[in-house]
Structure 1
């Protein structure tokens, strides 16, 4: 279906309205998310008197007040064999006829499936309204609403089957969470910012906020209230600037003119988000209880704004822990809420984090996935397939997490958590990842990072050649280094040093000698390793070192360690359980990969064949035709046990991708390459929540996929896991 088209019917820029903005954002999100399978076109809803200059994406224009135009449009769509699906945006007032009845004949005549998005669902409908909505639903293949509340109104008051309804929340933009990082150079830094934005009209009831302002300013004189946006074009046509003039005069009458700033402009998205990032509390004061959804409220929350809102359904679903609801036109209630929040900085910070966690599933990337997954459902008989667009490689979060000493371990959302300190685990991964990036890009900024991570590893090496793992932010070692088994950490350090040495074009001779000395110093510590994962990490390090400098001693060590893995395999494997242990736990893919690399070095068919047998067994448990699901971190997976499909961490997908790359390079079986790409798609949304794990805005990777949510922290392990995976994929990105 390479030449298939999806047609979006909606108001569309340069027309100024919320649905036009929504539709543009949705199309941009879908096109940025997917690279093949379909193209998107637009049918713009227009008025008879309008002469708007639309972009090339707009291939049809519907004059909504002309009934004949609906029949003509349906006919043209039906004759266009490339159009396979229609997305139609519905709002009362968009379409001609009583309650938009002109739309009904169009839907009846349309021969391609249509998915209708209801932006408003009116409660307590009369018989006429109920009949019209039911007819629209009857002609539609699926219905989209933006809140669970709207879905229940359709079910209970319109008698619509829930099977035909999909809830896809209003999309929001990912941002760098600046609220978590204090910036003393930002505008208004000394002010407490309250803000409202959007096309201004009387329905927004901004006077409610103005009436609350004197009480707020009495306690917090540094408050500044930003009223952002032009007056709605339809309001301008009907009454000019009467409402704006009323607000400006009220500001003067209240003596608040030094505490209110009107920004009477159409702002670009980026400038708008910049304002919201600088906002302490977002005020949503709509007096319309029938307003189902607010894009402005959603956008504010996406920037981490705590919200004070009237109780529309959207805010009631979202604000638990992320803001406060107050009654319609209740300025005293608004003032109480603002004073409560402003007097509690700790509460405000919790609300910032809660807002980000609440709103993250609604990112436009996730909305794009939800829309296309629904399209797949509707077009199931046509075997409709898609391909994600691979994000550009970014080291932004890696750099954010790195100091002059090393890469920090954890983050709070995207903000580095200094209290978590450093680990050799993460800095070993960082050395490999950034060195691979430098090999690919030649970006000389990487060299400073490479030197930082290498020095950290050398800092952790002890006199006996072993490595300590945990280091405090003040560069002191944690006591737990002496209480925990550090075999795996030592194995990762040896892997990193060995792989770094194999990148000979990166290393000056003096540095090469320094790293080689550290590598050789560590070798006596690996002879008595018990952990199969530590053994495997060391085999990988020795394999790469062998590429750097072939030696009989290295081959002997590789053989000794690989024999250990073979012994473990023979001790527990059976016809039904082709593995090294009686269970699967973490870093599973490293074991067969290490055995494969040992076989390549030693030319041992035993090592290579056992590696392939065990890896294929692992893949049979983690890769089915529907979705990829690695072994959970909830607990180990014993033979015969049902696999848990949540508690998934990016590191397991990275290990799997690295192993798939090694097996494909050796055996050239296309199934390994297909599985590699499918495994990487987990980061981009092909998981049981259909949500992104990689954040393209921060360059970070979320820390885990749980049963019903994603851990939004973007720590070192997860971010490096994605980066290693993305770098591995690059050679196949053609």
Structure 2
């Protein structure tokens, strides 16, 4: 920071913090709560599509709720006339972000995500996080599958979903137990809502058989998309013994081959089942119905069945829609003991048989068919159980979860008041200090000081700022040009001989050092992570991913506290897009554990900090702990991050409640109180980012207030009562003892605009059309 020129006049352009409450939106209670349900949808042939359609239909029949659709399309799926708020192409990452922007614009009250691995794009379905991260409405996630032994990538995605969700729905107690035990879910967030089922009267099977050509058989039925995991071989192998006791037994296998299996192997699996039946001499007692049936035909087949059979081979199935339907229609169920079945099937309504035990299935089924009274009693017991799961009850349970999510979100959101354009994101000043090489480091007043040239610190701050604009949904040639300029500077700064980035470059475009400081290297890794995660263009993302991979071993060895914090922030962003990246994961764990050790070493009851003195960019330290705690599902890290941020807030607050940045002249003496001046913009910017990270992790409004207080510092709510922003997106270099430092260096300008973008993420700024950022041609 250069010496300060003469002071500016004292003016205040924003009201006090208390006055901000007057700008809170006053909304009327709508007649219906609007729900957007995100999932696959018919005619796509999968269980989630059917479930999504049923949930939507049931909610629309419930008073007080209106449910619209955001439809996930696979590569082969054609558009239909079915109305939808948005259609997301499964493997197009930007579609997820655009869908979120659309839902935000429409003012949806709650978003219901139907989650299943395989229906969302990205590694382990990570693209769905792009949608959830941008949503302003509460999010309720239905977990159709909960994996007991997930891969690292699956664990990362599920943990991220659980953190971001306001409520989580599972369909079985086992699912709730796994979320709690394996993924560390908050039990208060998790609701058990059994799979919904049709509301049909109890009926005897014989009255439905004729229409399907099933008279006079005793019908065993399995329904679902054919795949090896269904265990159909087990039941086919049981049929000779069953037929010997009951020559009128017929096993109906209802369902098309799973599309993914058919795409690879054609009908080889079905043909193998048919050959097995022929080899066992029971081909005439097994009927394959190769069709993806609609609800009406499915219910007719279920009604015609005497016994429903689920011989599944995999215990780890939390939900089976077909099992739920069979019970609801009053079918005795003979099943293997997969998780969902163990919670619903007992001796009153059927039986459980060991996996792969064909003889056991044959014995149980034969005994049940021999006793019509017992068969009827088992069906009536199943029907009674199923009454609690009909779609009307399911819709009510969903509505209750939605209302809980909405209620939990009803804490004050403090929007940046639109008294001036200065609180809106702007690139005018950023463009002013950027040339074809990079971004000028310092300025005399508002004139570039070429004597100080360029530095990578500011280039990567600018690259991060570009990604902040990307997060707000903006894309244009100006952003593209600036992004490529800063990226090229970063690329040129990498010194493969030293395995470090250079930092300072003269105006004559010669490097002034072989390697930069550890902090500048850590900050550069952070920018690469942000760019890899949020860049609009694939070539830029691939560049950032490749360079981050090359730089990674060097970043893992950075030893300074802030360098480690910056590296953590970059690693968290990289893992957002590449949850399977073990090298980045290990680096994140290593540096985060290092921060925890520092806290243990230096903290004391009155000094809740990771080093014996306060320095610069202080809030990045708790921000890194919060980000690592969230990413690694480490409540202990998150707790220390929140504790240190709360302590820092007490240090950075004046008696009248203003934000008071730790002055850059604060001595490095152990436990020394901070100097009031010179206060620099990067402290306010870092505090805003850290506070909003804390809010995202806890939904506690005190963190929003902290962010707003730090943001107001730029506009005059500070010790000197002087604004640091100007009308063209610039920012003065800091508060001095007598006024403001009137120079406008790149660091200060970037800090203001990063702060404006951050606050725009928690308000409508930068999303709704009236808030178009200044200096952008959209």
Rg larger for: 2
Q: Greater relative contact order (Cα 8 A, min sep 6): structure 1 or 2?
A: 2
TM-score by length of 2: 0.47
TM-score by length of 1: 0.50
